Amino acid sequence: MSAKTIEKRPFGRTGHMSSATLFGAAALGNVTQEEADRTLDLLLEYGVNHIDVAASYGDAELRIGPWMPRYRDQFFLATKTGERDYAAARDEIHRSLDRLQTDHVDLIQLHALFHPDEWEQAMGPGGALEAAIEAREQGLARYIGVTGHGLTVAAMHLRSLERFDFDSVLLPYNYVMMQNERYAQDFERLMVICEARNVAVQTIKSLARGPWATKPHTRATWYEPLEDQADIDVAVHWVLGRPGIFLNTTGDINLLPKVLDAAARFQTRPSDEEMAAMVERERMTPLFN
């Protein structure tokens, strides 16, 4: 085994052993094909075997498409639809398959489903969930998941799991967010349900330092990320130190090597004291209020 290989974990009930660090393909939204292909080489080098993309991630699906004729069987491939009604979601799923140059994805996810009104539409009659179920029945997708942002998303995912037996969830998880008592309680409640039902838990925003606020945006991420390798090590190791969850890499290909390097060297979880020291040193602030 390569010294750079990232550990594998069971991706919920799917039977797939996914790399603990999943490739967050939002990083490919605004890059050239040449840059994307260099990213593929990096993923293969570290043994990353799970790609998480979305229809709304700029050109990301188009950048992944040329990889699939040769590498489709080496990746668990997930995408997302942000549409809320059946017809629009159905059309977007088919468009994603065309862009990804594949006849099926392993996971189709209802994207950013945390607003109550949108939730009712997507999960109700004639909603996007029906399109996802149809795609699964037609062999266009093997599993169905749900994703979201914000402080209410863990509670909304619990509501989603009451309505439908999703195979995966995706939501923010980092030390700063878990200092929010309400979010931490909702997250822990969600984990209990997911562990009981063997639902895969994907996490995002591991490197979030805080909002950009008035600072110039020097990275492709919509939030300001940690950049120093030592800080990235601490943040990544804290997430990976929790059993049963996955870390989706940050949305900037130039930070990806540091994230994968940190993940490959993971051994133990940093202490609360180490995390608190980094929060103070880097003046980290919550992304969501």
* pTM: predicted TM-score of the whole model, two decimal places: 0.97
- Given a cut of 70, the residues of the chain with pLDDT beneath it are 1-3
Note the CATH number of domain 8-281: 3.20.20.100
Strand partners, 34: none
With residue 205 as reference, give the H or E element that holds it: none
Q: Which has the closest alpha carbon to 45: 90, 2, 11?
A: 2
Beta strands 21-24 and 245-248: pairing type? parallel
Q: Determine the pLDDT at residue 1.
A: 36
Instruction: Give start and end residues of each alpha helix (H) in the chain.
Output: 33-46, 60-64, 68-71, 86-100, 116-123, 128-137, 153-163, 181-197, 229-240, 256-264, 272-281
What gap in Å lies between CA 164 and CA 145, rounded to an integer?
A: 10
Rounded to whole angstroms, the Cα distance separating 161 from 143 reads 14
> Are the beta carbons of 224 and 209 closer than 8 angstroms?
yes
How would you class 17 by CB atoms within 10 Å of its CB: exposed for 0-12, middle for 13-18, buried for 19 or more? Answer: middle
Distance from C-alpha of 207 to C-alpha of 174, rounded to nearest angstrom: 8
Q: Where are the domains of the chain?
A: 8-281
Query: Could you report the per-residue pLDDT of 30-52, keeping only the tens digit for each?
Result: 999 999 999 999 999 999 999 99
CA–CA separation, 193 vs 164, rounded Å?
13
Q: Give me the pLDDT at residue 2, please.
A: 47
